[in-house]
Amino acid sequence: MFDFFKPNSKVAYTDWGVLVLRVCVPLLLLTHGYDKLLSFLNGATDFPDPLHVGAQVSHALAVVGEVIAPILVMLGLWTRVACLVEIIHFLVVAFMMHAGEPLSEKEHALLFLIPYTTILLIGAGKYSLDTSLYQKRRF
């Protein structure tokens, strides 16, 4: 246990670290997405349209970015694709929704952008459905 804290320790909990990152960040995001999902299901039409595709389509894309993709990341299912969706979502939020606004208004989106970019680069890790479903089986 104490070897973990030594600078030259070979003890690594990388897979557990990826799991914590992959589960906790989407959980935080789901608190925002839940409200968007409810308003979408209730037929709200007053949603911002930064992509000029219509308010309902923009609202649906926000639900995908803040509900569907985070659930996939939490499960570790199609993780890199879901992270790419998240990255695009938060780039749109930071640089289109908050274009011309100070960094303090973009900060929330940028803070979510960082862990999703990290997960995209390192993958879902050992404890994921991606690993369970797509690892090569040796017989």
Q: pLDDT by residue (tens digit) across 84-135?
A: 999 999 999 999 988 888 888 999 999 999 999 999 999 999 999 999 888 7
Banded pLDDT at 138 (limits 50, 70, 90): low
| pTM of the model as a whole | 0.86
Spatial distance between the Cα atoms of 79 and 91, rounded to a whole number of angstroms? 18
Residue 116 CA from chain centroid, whole number: 5
Which conformational region is residue 42 in: left (phi greater than 0), alpha (psi within -120 to 50 degrees), or beta?
alpha
Torsion angle of C-alpha atoms 17, 19, 21, 26, degrees rounded to 10: -170
Spatial distance between the Cα atoms of 17 and 96, rounded to a whole number of angstroms? 32
Those residues with Cβ within 8 angstroms of residue 121's Cβ, 6 or more apart along the chain or in another chain: none
**Quick check: 1 and 105 in contact, CB under 8 A?**
no
What are the two backbone dihedrals, phi and then psi, of residue 99, each rounded to the nearest 5 degrees?
Answer: -60, 135
pLDDT attached to residue 55: 87
Please identify which residue in the block is written with the tokens 């040796």.
138
